[in-house]
Structures are given as C-alpha cells and as structure tokens.
Amino acid sequence: MYLFVVLSFPLFLSGVVLAYVLMPKGLEVLLGFTPQNVGNYLPVDRYLSFFIRMVIVFGIGFLTPLFIVGLNMIGVLSGKRLASAWRYIIFGVFVFAAVATPTGDPITMMMLAAPVMVLVGGAVAFSLLNDRRRRRNGAEPDYDSFDDDEVSPIPESVDGEDSARR
C-alpha cells in the first residue's frame, strides 16, 4: 500500500513536468495556424485554464500504469489477459489522450499517448513477471489452465467438516 503512494507522487510529477516542457511546443503549433499579419492574443484566463488542464491530464495519464499494476497485484487482471488485449489497450490509451487533451490537435494527443503507452507496456510486463512469480511460488493456481467442466480448487471442507457428510 505504501509503495503505491510512494510511486504515485513521482509518476504524477513526471507527467506534470512533461506537460510543462511540451506545452510551449503545443502552443507553438496551435498559434502557427494564425494567418500572417494577424495578431493572436490569448486572454490570461483561457491560457491558465489550458495550462492547468494540460498539467492535470498528463499527471493523471501517468498514473494509469499504477492502476493496472494494482489490479494485477490484487488478482483482478492477469498479465496474460493484458497481453492478449494489447489492441484494446492501445485504442483505449489513444481515446483517453484524444478526449483528455484540451486541444483537438493530434500533436498534443501524441505527446500524451506515446509516454503513457510506454508506461502501460512496462505495467503489462510487470504483470506478466508478477504472475510468473506467483505460479512459481505456488501462491495461486493457474486459473487459465482449468476447463469449464473441471472442479474449482476450493477446498472441500468448510469449517473443518467434510461437505460430503452434510
């Protein structure tokens, strides 16, 4: 639990720093569409709103891998299932980037989607390694290897009594 809290701050902070570094480039692209001999003035309130939204979205986007690893650690998502759904993960990251970025341009979307994809790929790799470690230590059975008609690995005795005697 404490490890997730300790890791969440640097991940969020790195997203904020990346947004702060890349924001001038995004604004340069957006302001580049202004015709020549025309002045483009941004009101301060709109600029601050754009800046705060960009920083918060990048920070939250960088917390996505922590969420995936957390779901794997508690046993909700397996690494094998994540690896098999890589197309949906890529699509989901790009949809998140398109919806979450304050502008509609593809450059800002790619600035968010590319690093988040790298982080999510690392989370999937960690999940695969974590599942392998669990199987090797015998901490949990491999539920994917059971057929539909097989008995679950739940013990037959409940409260010390044999369920066949009931």
Determine the average pLDDT of the residues in 73-90: 89
Rounded percentage of the chain residues whose pLDDT exceeds 90: 32
Residue 112 confidence class, pLDDT cut points 50, 70, 90: confident
Specify the pTM.
0.72
Alpha helical stretches, state H, the chain: 2-31, 44-61, 64-73, 79-84, 86-100, 106-137
pLDDT digits (tens, 9 = 90+) for 1-58: 688 889 899 999 999 999 898 888 777 777 777 888 888 787 888 888 888 988 998 8
Which band of pLDDT confidence, cut at 50, 70 and 90, is reported for residue 140? low
- Averaged pLDDT for residues 121-139: 89
Q: Residue 157 forms beta bridges with which residues?
A: 162
Count CA atoms within 13 Å of residue 111 on its CB side: 28
Q: Which two tokens stand for residue 151?
A: 């008995």
77: helix, strand or coil: coil
% the chain with pLDDT above 70: 82
d(CA 152, CA 157): 13
